[in-house]
Chain A
Amino acid sequence: MLCGLAGIGDDNADAVAFACVGAACAIVAAVARRRVAAPARASAGRVFAGIGLLWTLLVLFGAALYAGTGSLRSFDDALVESAAGFTTTAVTLLDADEASRTVLLFRGVTSWVGGLIAILIAVVTLPVVLRSTALIGYTTGRRGLDLVPNASVGTRRVLVLYGGFTAACVVAYLLTGLPLTEALVLGLGTASTGGFTGQADSLAGYGAATQAVAAAGMLVAGAGIFVIWWIARGRLRPLWRSQELRTFVLLLAVAIAAMAVHRGIGWGEAGFMAVSMMSTTGFAIADWTGWGTSATVIMLVAAGIGTMMGSPGGGMKVMRARLLMGSAGGELRRQLDPYALILVRRDGETLSRRTLDRLGGHQIAWVVLVGIGVLLLGVSGVSLLGSVWGSVSAVSTVGPGMGEIGAFGRLEGLGRPGRLALVPLMMGGRMSIPPLMAGVGLVLHWYRAAVRRSRFLVVRAEQRRHPRPEPTNGDG
């Protein structure tokens, strides 16, 4: 609605569509708040299922808005655009020349909202609301308590930090000489790792200063809300001691050096694209698909690993990848000594076997999701290269990719089935694995309960039809 208000000054007809969809959204929210009481203690499954429902509703409302404004021709395209926005994926079907300023701004806001929800789920919902140690791989461990002592304080702090960081990005872009709307769109896209610019060639047409601001912003956004918190508090010790940050920086450095040295790509370009891929933002300053196979594989791996915990970005997450590698190394050692006590630690915390097993299960699910995505895209007529890149890129919420997806995420070579196949992948990747699994678990749970109920009803009907004879005493 705010975007619609911004468009009123332009004598923009989109304001009506914005007002209608905004009002409908508000009504649904009000009804839900009034009619549905919050449970005293929500189970993990139901919380996750609720998260899934929230994303779905957001995407549907967004699609209705794009369709209502007529900025996209079909509802399919509107659905893809909306899903890309809320999942912070840098693919777009919008034509910057045709779309109004309001729509461009709204597209940026959807990414920002998506990023905010992702952070709140990661740093508030999972560790504080659920208090589940078994989900530690998805939570923040001890350092989370520092930022989020309880749900309300944590939410407020996250809002302030995320909002402040976005404002800083917007101001920095303004200082490079960009007009307000562009600075806003880029700021929202940078802080949320959404990667939307409103331009057909992403950031390629912007100056070096803008690109430098974008690179710095992506780096901080990819490092996550904890790093912003530590920087804001001037605490350098946790920054230095964070295993995850060290790994993140090391991986980035290796990726940049490998691309620059091996392929002879300029350090600046290599650095920008490596940061863009690893932070899963998806900004591009060149057509990197022609940089050679090894460089694109490095970027694929970087996109797959993704960001740090507490970042609005996607991917497998650096910490999870690190823990899983530790776990795999432990298993390797265990072959030599089956009774060895092998501990996997995270920032000094020892993780239980149960936690690692669950993390392993979730990782398998992530690979399965990528695999399903590859098959879906392949069956939709996308080339093998496009399918692999498209699936990894969509599940990691990056956006651009090789093949039909394109270096700037324009989806030009992608047919209708392929575009639609991206929607569940982006949403699955954004919700991350536990909510997705919880949704499946809930459906399985309901199915089993229904089967049990129907069996019970059949047995009762059978008993009514053929009642058992009353037990009689021996003496009759």
Chain B
Amino acid sequence: MARRPHLAATDPGGAPLRDRVASTTLHVIGIALAAVSVGMLACGLLEALTTGRDTAALAVSALVTGTAGGVLWYLTRPGEIRKRHVFSTVASTWVSITCVGALPFVLAGTFAAGGAGFVEQIVNSVFESASGYSASGSTVLSDFETPGRGLMMYRQLTHWYGGMGVVVLAVAVLPFLGVGGLELITAEAPGPSSDRLTPRVSETARRLWMVYIGFTLCAAVAFFVADGFSSVYDAVAHAFTVAATGGFSPYADSIGHFDSVAVETVVIVCMVLGGTSFTLHWRAVAERTVPYHRNSEFRSYLAMLGLAATVIVILLWLENHLSLGSSIRAAVFTVVSLGTSTGLSNATGPGSPGDYVTWVAGAQLVLLFLMVVGGCTGSTSGGIKVMRMRVLGLTMLRSVQHTQTPRAVIPIRLGRDVVSEGVVSRVAGFFLLHFLLVLCGMLAVTALEGDLESALGAVVSALGNMGPALGEAGPTSNYAVAFSQPARLVLALLMVIGRLEIFPILLAALTLADRGRAAVRRGRFSLQSLSRRLDDISGAGSDGE
């Protein structure tokens, strides 16, 4: 078999690629860690220039992460990518960056307040890292004053890395991956399929990141203007979170800290755009057209947000006895925040209009529905996605039609496009697995202590990468109050599973199980052949005698 030309090439360092170990997984992990270390280093510089409390922690973390990433990158080369490798590559990359990403929090002792033990500190750091990189926004941080600005910026940056995806980044900077790169992007990207913007996969990944960077810059400028030109730090920190539809804020009361309609309006617009497909954004920029209104998923997404906001405004006005203005402000912000899976809050304190855990049950249930659905395909948001929900709704409608005309062939259409039966099956499978994970997650979290309301909210929130949940894990509280340490680890795992849209982690586990079974079979076979040989030898020996 002819070797692919690019595998025979040499890298800038001069080492021939064929001398390296062929492992796409390790190579991608190396690049991802290197990228993360750059962020840590930048935040370390910011920390040194501002508060200076956590400079050492960030610098050491950057050094360790960068070295590990560099070594993996240098010693490995991309090998042949099989379907199985794609999922394990993406899953291992995410697990690696989640674990390594916890390093700055551990070294800075961010969670040491209140006499927390070492294990609890590690658990909290891993939870915060998982929440950050999965762009969830759930937090266990209670002391927002002690950590330095650089460390808090690193916390925001984790969202930004996770929003578009580090594997997409790896594909963008790694033209070697070429073949198989699309599968990697598809495995990481939110939604049932990823659009190819250009024939070259690496070019597609690069363009996605360009749109993402451009969007973040625009969001930062808009926030800076809306906040009265007061703080570049706040503008950049919140731009990272809205672009990634994350949910972290450097302030304990999130956007409620500013208590400004202008800031909230800018954040709402940015969150809506963050929950929209980045392919549409690219088309809008590249083709200088407005493609949004022609996209049926975007129309459904806006209709869903509008309807939910209207219902909640009415409920808050009538049942919670808030003024119409306060109802509109609280409802629209919260609906957009949870409907786009961002998770920012405009509550100024417990019991304020934006504190949605004090709203009537009907309003909270509408929010729970939004948490399940999430934003559009190809966006940075989480949840099941509007497109999948439409396919599910149409599948149900088809079943209704089949009760009248059992033999009819009824295709499922999204706009003018017919959805293939393979995609319909995949969406149904995804929904079932999502449903199953919610049940298993609830069983696990409640078994590890947690009330039903908080557990339901937290599991749905974790799988949908939402951030705040219901009950004790609401917007003015944190997960350390509501859940035990093991429950927090379960939720961290669910966040990563949700960010990768279930399949990669489960398939990686399946692959591992298959390998384990194969190893057991091999072991049995070896034992059998060994015993046969021993029998032969002993038989030969007795014959000889």
Contacts and interface: CB of A to CB of B under 8 A. Distances in A.
A336 B432 CA distance: 18
Nearest to B314: A379
B127 to A, nearest CB: 21
Given A296-B446, A438-B404, 18 more contacts: A44-B403, A297-B442, A301-B439, A325-B436, A331-B432, A331-B433, A332-B433, A332-B507, A332-B510, A336-B83, A336-B511, A338-B422, A360-B428, A364-B431, A388-B452, A437-B400, A441-B404, A444-B404
Given A296-B452, A325-B436, A384-B470, A364 B401 contact: no
Interface stretch (A99-107, A161-169, A365-373): A365-373
B400 A336 contact: no
A293 B365 contact: no
B506 A332 contact: yes
A379 B395 contact: no
B282 interface: no
Given A324-B432, A384-B453, A361 B446 contact: no
B406 interface: yes
B361 A293 contact: no
Interface in B20-78: none
**Which of A327, A331, A353 has the most chain B CB atoms closer than 10 A to its own CB?**
A331
Interface in B382-437: 392-393, 395-396, 398-404, 406, 421-422, 424-426, 428-433, 435-436
B403 A357 contact: no
B456 interface: yes
B209 interface: no
A442 B369 CA distance: 28
A252 to B, nearest CB: 16
A149 interface: no
Contacts of B510: 332-333, 336
Contact of B401 (A334, A383, A441): A441
Interface string B245-259: 000000000000000
B165 to A, nearest CB: 18
A296 to B, nearest CB: 7
Contact of B452 (A297, A327, A379): A297
B396 A368 contact: yes
Interface string B210-246: 0000000000000000000000000000000000000
B486 interface: no
Contact of B403 (A48, A325, A332): A48
Interface of A: 43-45, 48, 132, 134, 258, 262, 293-294, 296-298, 301, 324-325, 327-328, 330-338, 353, 357-358, 360-365, 367-368, 371, 374-375, 377-388, 402, 434, 437-438, 440-442, 444-445
A256 to B, nearest CB: 15
B361 A387 contact: yes
A332 B369 contact: no
Contact of B451 (A293, A331, A353, A375): A293
Binding site secondary structure of chain A: helix
Contacts of B425: 331, 334, 353, 357, 360
B83 A301 contact: no
Going nearest first, the 5 A-B pairs with the smallest beta carbon separation are A331-B429, A361-B399, A328-B432, A379-B362, A378-B365
Interface in B302-322: 315, 319
Contacts of A438: 400, 403-404
B299 interface: no
**Which of A386, A434, A441 has the most chain B CB atoms closer than 10 A to its own CB?**
A441
Contacts of A374: 365
Contacts of A325: 432, 436
A48 B399 CA distance: 14
B390 to A, nearest CB: 12
Contact of B503 (A332, A367, A375, A383): A332
Binding site secondary structure of chain B: helix
12 contacts: A44-B406, A293-B455, A328-B429, A332-B503, A338-B422, A360-B395, A361-B402, A364-B431, A375-B369, A379-B362, A380-B362, A388-B452
A467 B401 CA distance: 38
B406 A402 contact: no
A239 to B, nearest CB: 28
A325 B450 CA distance: 27
Given A45-B404, A48-B403, A441-B400, A327 B429 contact: yes
B228 to A, nearest CB: 39
A378 B399 contact: no
Contact of B428 (A357, A381, A440, A444): A357
**Which of A360, A368, A434 has the most chain B CB atoms closer than 10 A to its own CB?**
A360
B406 A134 contact: yes
A434 B402 CA distance: 10
Contacts of B450: 293
Nearest to B454: A293
B453 A385 contact: yes
A375 B362 contact: yes
Nearest to A361: B399
Given A328-B433, A363-B432, A132 B406 contact: yes
A388 B511 CA distance: 36
A383 B361 contact: yes
B455 A297 contact: yes
B6 interface: no
Contacts of B428: 327, 331, 357, 360, 364
Interface string B438-460: 01001100110111110110000
B409 to A, nearest CB: 10
Interface string B342-370: 00000000000000000011101110010
Contacts of B446: 293-294, 296-297
A331 B431 CA distance: 11
Contact of B399 (A262, A387, A437): A437
Contacts of B301: none
Given A293-B450, A364-B392, A364-B428, A371 B369 contact: yes
B111 interface: no
Contacts of B522: none
Given A294-B446, A375-B369, A365 B404 contact: no
A387 B424 contact: no
B436 A328 contact: yes
Interface string B487-514: 0000000000000000100110011000
A238 B443 CA distance: 33
Interface string B8-19: 000000000000
B404 A378 contact: no
**Which of B430, B446, B447, B452 has the most chain A CB atoms closer than 10 A to its own CB?**
B452
Nearest to B503: A335
A445 B453 contact: no
A262 B399 CA distance: 41
Contacts of B426: 331, 334-335
B515 interface: no
A294 B507 CA distance: 28
